[in-house]
């Protein structure tokens, strides 16, 4: 199955399901995600965040992700998550990533738009798609620094979508990256208003720890891509701990299998919640 673009997958979502985008940091996590997608006959977005690249350099991990997507039997997109440096974005595009996210959410609106337009121009020259963020999702993908949530305004979302030309737009409606200390109350009212005002497919970041009801409400009210990272890392780490506790003589390969299986279980669980079965 060919490597596909983000837009090929998210524009098909008709508000009865959303496409899960799953962060990976090594070959084992990519294998686990692919196993889940093939079993579910579901489309897949494999992504890695710039903030994680100190553990998994992009020039090493990127080719693994591309190769994994190419051998997958269901349509798979390969995406750079939370890119902020042009150097990282350019490298991802050179490696064949089919989309990149430019996260300019820390900049004032005009500057975010201007910088995003530069990324769109570059990505289009590679035939790739771009996701950007408006408002601010809490936490920081990669090191869990606390960042205040800034709920996206309808007017800013409309202006940003029109002027930036992005293919997917991440909105802040009360979620945060990492595990929640308190269950968040999502601004579904705001999401609904944004979805009515903006045609660009909308993205939900900070998926880990939301309830099934939260996910369903987000999908029904306009979210077409949902990012899941922490839950896969935790599921894999928990599996490793279990193997080590149950078998002190466990070999390296039992641990690497634990990563594949931990990611597989978590990705499959979220694909079921997102309604992705047979949407490939
Ligand atoms: P979580 O780590 O909360 O699942 O967030 C994932 C994410 O939004 C990646 O961009």
The answer to whether residue 81 is catalytic is yes
86-136 confidence digits (pLDDT tens): 999 999 999 999 999 999 989 999 999 999 999 999 999 999 999 999 998
Q: Does pLDDT of 144 surpass 60?
A: no
Q: Say whether pTM exceeds 0.75.
A: yes
Question: What b/e sequence results for 212-231 when a residue is b if at least 16 CB atoms lie within 10 Å of its CB, and e otherwise?
Answer: eebbebbbebbbbbbbbbbb
Q: Does pLDDT of 153 surpass 70?
A: yes
For ligand 1, mutation pick of 183, 205, 225 (most atoms within 8 Å of CB) = 205
Q: pLDDT grade, residue 1 (50/70/90)?
A: low
User: Is the distance from the beta carbon of residue 232 to the nearest atom of ligand 1 less than 6 Å?
Assistant: no
State whether residue 229 is helix, strand or coil.
coil
60-88 confidence digits (pLDDT tens): 999 999 999 999 999 999 999 999 999 99
User: Is the distance from the beta carbon of residue 265 to the nearest atom of ligand 1 less than 6 Å?
Assistant: no
CA-CA distance, 158 to 199, in Å (whole number)? Answer: 9
Give 182's Cβ-side CA count (13 Å radius): 4
Which residue, chain included where needed, has tokens 């002027």?
Answer: 163
Q: Does pLDDT of 218 surpass 70?
A: yes
| Mean model confidence pLDDT for the chain | 95
For the segment 255-265, the average pLDDT, to the nearest whole number, is 98
User: Is the distance from the beta carbon of residue 105 to the nearest atom of ligand 1 less than 6 Å?
Assistant: no
The pLDDT assigned to 2 comes to 82
């Amino acid at each position: 199955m060919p490597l596909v673009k983000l837009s090929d997958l998210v524009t098909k979502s008709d508000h009865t399901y959303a496409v899960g985008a799953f962060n990976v940091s090594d070959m084992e996590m990519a294998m686990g995600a692919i196993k889940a997608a093939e079993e579910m006959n579901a489309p897949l977005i494999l992504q890695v965040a710039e903030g994680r690249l100190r553990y998994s350099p992009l020039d090493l991990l990127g080719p693994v992700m591309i190769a994994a997507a190419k051998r997958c039997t269901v349509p798979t997109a390969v995406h750079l998550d939370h890119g902020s440096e042009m150097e990282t974005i350019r490298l991802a595009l050179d490696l064949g990533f089919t989309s990149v996210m430019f996260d300019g959410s820390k900049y004032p609106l005009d500057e975010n738009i201007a910088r995003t337009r530069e990324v769109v121009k570059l990505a289009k020259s590679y035939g790739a798609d771009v996701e950007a963020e408006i408002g601010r999702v809490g936490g920081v993908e990669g090191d869990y620094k606390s960042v205040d949530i800034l709920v996206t305004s309808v007017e800013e979302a409309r202006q940003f979508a029109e002027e930036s030309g992005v293919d997917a737009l991440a909105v802040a409606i009360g979620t945060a990256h990492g595990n929640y200390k308190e269950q968040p109350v999502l601004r579904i009212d705001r999401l609904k208003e944004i979805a009515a005002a903006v045609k660009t497919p909308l993205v939900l970041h900070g998926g880990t720890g939301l309830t099934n009801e939260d996910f369903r409400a987000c999908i029904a009210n306009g979210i077409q891509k949902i990012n899941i990272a922490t839950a896969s890392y935790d599921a894999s780490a928990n599996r490793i701990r279990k193997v080590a506790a149950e078998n002190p003589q466990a070999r390296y390969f039992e641990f690497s299998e634990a990563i594949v299986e931990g990611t597989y279980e978590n990705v499959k669980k979220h694909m079921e919640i997102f309604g992705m079965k047979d949407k490939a």
